[in-house]
Each structure stands twice: as structure tokens, then as C-alpha cells.
Amino acid sequence: MALAREWDDLVEQARRLPGFADFLRTPRTSTLLPAAAGGPVVYVNVSRWRCDALIVTTDGVERVQLVRLNAADVVERVRRHLFLRREFEVTAAAAQRGGTVADVVGLGPPVPPDAVGSAVPSVGSAARRARRALDADLHGLTGWLWDVLAQPVLHRLGLLDGPPDRDNRPRLWWCPTGLLTLLPLHAAGHYDDPVGTGPGTSASAGDRAGAGLTVADRVVSSYTPTLRALLRATAAETDAGPPSASASQPPADPRMLIVSLPSAQGRPSLPYAESERDVLQRHFPGEQHTLLEGDAATRAAVETALPRHRWAHFSCHGDQQLGDPSSGGLVLHDRMLRIADIGASHTTREFAFLAACRTATGGVNLPDETISLAAALQHTGYRHVLASLWSVYDLVAARVSTLVYDELMASGVFEPHRSAAALDAAIAELRRAYPYNLSVWTPFTHTGT
């Protein structure tokens, strides 16, 4: 009893300190609402009893019952999609011999919109069949997500009134829970059927690309693991001046850290990592960047360099263990930089681009806790994190990197606060180039402000 009273006394003392009034308390709703200053935040709760979306705005919280969503369907959709994705990754890796995964599965380089019919050759291998099965599943999955989740939410927000206006779309943050953390809410929508992808059908696909029955046609999507994380990032974004230093961290230089590993032991090569490096060195020449490449990209070197740079870009393999998500991370030259390692630090930085696989993927055992590399980086102070839900084609990752950095440097000065819009524009270009192949562009996500 004496220890319990001492604990209570210490907690009360802590709560009397400035800024600690809610220490160890459930946060008050009023203190979290400012997180939605940039646009609504949509929590999606899935349970066996009922499913709801909680729409958080600066005015309060509104509940939308998702009558067509149920936990059993979510489990089945996730199970099927993870199976097909694993099947694709295994067959593509087995077939890859010197070329890129995208070459193996028959995608080739991105093509202009007027030539999309040539983007998907005839299927002639196990990898290509697996890719087609994956894309077909994604069409059904994103359509289902629109019907049971996105459409009711956007309707309640009044965002389905009239035709879409891509130039004036509002921001919206998704905060999924449960197994929905493994699915692409930002890509929910009805797209064209991937079967019959000949030249005669590709033009009509492009004509219908902006029909408005997709999330991407109505809003610019971002993710946040919690309202608190978004609130901290938003507060840091509005502070004047560069990111501040803590007592344990030196001030970050306005420099780009480039971590590039075109090859890693036991992993397929990433030949397009070199083109990403070249793009970054063009935008951040000379002393504006630090390059850790090949055998120089060790975990110790990266851990030392990260706090000293305001911005970071990783071109390497990523990995995620669905049963133990905190053990996933970035594959470096000597060993992995794990999510648990990132989560153990705290800093205030601006931007990280994780051009690696599965860096925004959570886990299945504790899905209500968003444990991913992107979430870890936001929790530790990064305001903007670009990442991927699943495996990505290396040539596509390089193309997205080019488009994003060209946009963020368009004014001649790096503007990471426009990261969400820059990624959205890059995905729009990929949609036009690959209207049927949702596996090309659905993995990319923005987490942060």
C-alpha cells in the first residue's frame, strides 16, 4: 500500500509540471482535435460486433457506421491478398536472372499514356501469371474497399458532390486499425478490369481514369499511426526555423543522406538504385549530400549519420516480419536497421524517403498497433515519410523518386512540406502509364503532415 501511495504522489507531482497535466491519462479529445487542422483524420475500427469510421475534424468527432464492413470479410480479403502477394514474390524472385523483377513479370519501363497498350505483354511465365493474379485481386480489393469504407466516409464529408476536381482536392489522413493496416485505403476505388489488356481497351481505360469512383480522384491521402503523432508533426511543421535539437541530438544539417545498396548478400540486385542515387546527387550536389553506398552503408554508419541530416533517402531492400513487425527494417551492408532500433531514438527531422519494400507494412499479431518503419520514423520525429506497403518494382521506385524530387525541387529549393502532393502527382502519372497494373502504384504511401 505504501508503494501504491508513493506512486500516486509521484504521478500527481508530475502532473503539476508545465505541459504534463495529462501525464499517464487518456488524452482529452479537445487536445487532439488540432491534429486535424490540415484536413479530416479518419479512424477505421473493425470488430466482430460492428465497424465504424470516426471522422476527426477540428470541430469534433463524427461516427459513420460502416454497415457493409465486417471483420470476417477483412480477414478473408487480407488472407487472400497476402497469399497471392507471396506467390508473386516467390515466383518473380525465382525467375529473376540478371534482369529486374519488373522485366521478369513483363512490365518494362514506364510508358507514355498514349502507348499504355504495350505496357503488358502476353503472359508466358509463372511470374507473369502470378502478377496478373495479384493485379486482378487488387482490382477486386480496391473496389470492395471503396464500397464498404471509402464511399460512405467521403459521402459523409460531402466530397462526392459533383465531378472530381483534381486541382482542388482536400487532404485526408487515414488511421486504420486491425488487419486494415495491411490494405491500401488510399487506393480504394473502382478501376478498369485488368483482363483483356490489349491496345483496343487501353485508350478507354485512360479516358475513364478520372471518373471519380476512387479515393485518389477525390482527396490527397496520407496516413498517421495516431492522432498524437500527427499532432506532434503538425506542431513541428508550423514552428519557425529549422528542426530544433534536443539535449542528446545535435542540430540537423540541411543535407540529404543517401543510402544506396544496389546489391546485398542473398538478395536480388537493385540496378535502378544507382539511377536514384544519380537523381539525388543532381538535386543535392557536392556538400549538400552525404553518400553511404555499398559496403560503406553499414548499420553503424547509418545510425551515426541519420541524426546529423535533416533529410534521408534509402535505396535498398526492406523486410517485414508479419508475426514480429518490430524485427523488420532496412537491409544494410552488414546487418538490418530494425524498426526497434529506430523506435529507440527520438529526433526532429523533416523528410525520409524509403525506396524499399514493405516499409509501411504493419503486423498481424498486434495489428491495432501500427508497427512499421514509416510509423516508427514519424513517432521519432520525422514529419514526412514516403514508404511502401509491399514489395515494389525497383524501376518503378526509381521513377517515383525522380518524379517526387523533381517536384519538390521545382522552385530551386527543397520543399519537403509538399511531399504528399508530390507523391500524389507521381502516382497519377503511373496510373496513366499502367491503368490496369495496380501492383505498380498502389504500394506507395505518405505518412506525416
DSSP string across 403-437: HHHHHHTTTSS--GGGHHHHHHHHHHHHHHH-SS-
Half-sphere exposure of residue 277, counting CA atoms within 13 Å on the CB side? 17
Joined grid coordinates for residue 141: 480489393
Which residue type, as a one-letter code, is found at position 432? R
Contact 175, 229 (CB under 8 A): no
DSSP letter at 389?
S
Amino acid 286: pLDDT: 95
Instruction: Encode the chain (449 residues) as per-residue pLDDT tens digits.
Output: 678 888 888 888 888 888 777 777 888 888 899 999 999 999 999 999 999 999 999 999 999 999 999 999 999 999 999 999 888 887 877 765 545 555 555 565 544 433 333 333 333 478 888 888 999 999 999 999 999 999 999 999 999 988 888 889 999 999 998 889 889 999 999 996 543 333 333 334 444 444 679 999 999 999 998 898 898 888 766 654 455 444 445 556 899 999 998 876 667 677 788 889 999 999 999 999 999 999 999 999 999 998 899 999 999 887 766 555 556 678 888 888 876 666 555 566 899 999 865 444 444 444 454 556 777 777 777 899 999 888 888 888 899 999 999 999 999 999 999 999 999 999 999 999 988 899 999 999 999 99
Helix (H, G, I), strand (E, B) or coil at 25: coil
Contact 345, 355 (CB under 8 A): no
Tell me the CA end-to-end span of the chain in Å, nearest whole number.
Answer: 45
Sheet strands side by side (includes 171-176): 60-65, 51-57, 41-46, 171-176, 220-223, 444-448, 382-388, 349-355, 309-315, 253-260, 289-293
pTM: 0.83
Contact 35, 227 (CB under 8 A): yes
DSSP letter at 179?
G
Amino acid 366: pLDDT: 44
DSSP secondary structure letters along 240-260: SSSPPP-TTSPPPEEEEEEEE
**CA-based nearest residue to 435, from 142, 12, 42, 40:** 142
CA distance 225 to 172: 14
Residue 264: alpha-carbon gap to chain centroid: 23
Contact 207, 103 (CB under 8 A): no
**CA-based nearest residue to 428, from 280, 275, 277, 219:** 219
